[in-house]
Amino acid sequence: MARILTGIQSTNVPHLGNMLGAILPGIELANTPGNEAFFFIADFHSLTTVHDPEVLRENTYATAAAWLACGFDTEKGFFYRQSDIPEVTELTWFLTCFFPFSRLELAHSFKDKADNLSQVSSGLFFYPMLMAADILMYDANVVPVGKDQRQHIEFTRDVAERINNRFGAETFVIPEARTEESVQVVPGIFKDAEGNFAKMSKSYGNTIVVFEDDKKLRKRIMSIQTDTTPMEEVKNPDTCLVYTLYSLIATAEQTAELREAYLKPGMGYGWAKEQLYKAILERFGEARERYNFYMGNKKELDLKLQEGAEKAGTVAYEVLSRVRSKLGYKKLAYFGGEI
């Protein structure tokens, strides 16, 4: 049996990159017989950038609703808010004491984000250790993530191995990252200053959020950057963001048809964008309905998250007790740890 675990930050409503890179591959793994899934909302991670309680709460609901909208079966799996499991912050502290500062300074995501922020908190710097704790807390085997998070899984393996070498191989389970080739970096809706496909990311403001209402979604898709090839000339699908995004959403047959249209004179980008819009509605139509249902029934979300916290908390308590005793601490007293 493999334990699958992944989390999504609640800094925004999950975008297409989050969905194709992590949520959908995660749910597919969760549905594979013999696997057990831990999917959570990384709302402590969001505090590195979101300091408005109302925004934080609302985005936490939106992220939870996205998991359910995409079909995660919470009866079979573990579904929880990171902040409902206090053990994770204690484990973070343990991990920071074994991981070299100089390694954390090499984190790509820190460097990327730090470039865009006028004030960088130490929380942002230590964020990979909180992520390592999220994973090691539940003895996870497989972590489905997009490419941007792979270095963090390397850090997780590194810190776990350092501790295992010192205290015994049974202290932590060593996880592995799982990234699907085709969606490892979903591009955003415009190119960067150097003309390259920039990663879809809230920080770059280049996202498509499939849960937005029809009008906003359509407007967003119509704003995708294309080149200036005139209508009467053939177009290059392989350098076009509209085509790339379409190929990630539509079937292979539909993608081949769109490719043909690009290679014939007379196709306008407006028409191609319309096809992308329709493909999104077709692929995510049911998910969009379910998302709206949950966002209108937050009590139901709260109930599911509460049940999930109780289930996940039992595992966290056991793992933390094991780690505590390895390191020389006694079991957590509030659950009847021995004197």
Q: What backbone torsions phi and psi does residue 206 show, to the nearest 5 degrees?
A: -120, 35
Whether 202 is catalytic is yes
Cβ proximity of 237 and 262 under 8 Å: yes
Cβ proximity of 14 and 23 under 8 Å: yes
Packing angle of the helix pair 298-327, 87-96 (nearest 10 deg): 40
Nearer to ligand TYM, 42 or 250 (CB): 42
CA distance 52 to 71: 29
Cβ proximity of 61 and 69 under 8 Å: no
Q: Near ligand TYM by CB under 6 A, which window of 117-125, 145-153, 230-238, 287-295?
A: 145-153
- With 0-12 / 13-18 / 19 or more C-beta atoms within 10 angstroms meaning exposed / middle / buried, residue 230 is exposed
Q: Give the x-and-dash track for 149-168 against ligand TYM (CB under 6 A).
A: x-------------------
At residue 50, what is the residue type? Answer: V
34 contacts: CB under 8 Å, gap ≥ 6: 1, 2
Cβ proximity of 31 and 225 under 8 Å: no
Nearer to ligand TYM, 67 or 269 (CB): 67
Under rule CB under 6 A, residue 201 binds ligand TYM: yes
- Output the smallest distance, CB 5 to ligand TYM, in A: 6
Q: Residues 29, 64, 136, 143: which binds ligand TYM (CB under 6 A)?
A: 143
Whether 199 is catalytic is yes
Q: Residues 43, 84, 87, 134: which binds ligand TYM (CB under 6 A)?
A: 134
Under rule CB under 6 A, residue 308 binds ligand TYM: no
Q: Residues 199, 218, 235, 273: which binds ligand TYM (CB under 6 A)?
A: 199
Under rule CB under 6 A, residue 83 binds ligand TYM: no
Q: Which of 69, 45, 193 is nearest to 128 (CA)?
A: 45
Size of the site for ligand TYM (CB under 6 A): 25
Interface of this chain with ligand TYM, residues 14 to 43, rule: CB under 6 A: 17-18, 21-22, 42
Whether 216 is catalytic is no
DSSP 178: E
CA distance 130 to 90: 10
- Output the smallest distance, CB 87 to ligand TYM, in A: 14
Under rule CB under 6 A, residue 185 binds ligand TYM: yes
CA distance 102 to 163: 17
Under rule CB under 6 A, residue 183 binds ligand TYM: yes
Q: Which residues are near ligand TYM by CB under 6 A? A: 5-9, 17-18, 21-22, 42, 45, 131, 134-135, 143, 145-146, 148-149, 183, 185-186, 199-201
Catalytically active residues are 113, 199, 202
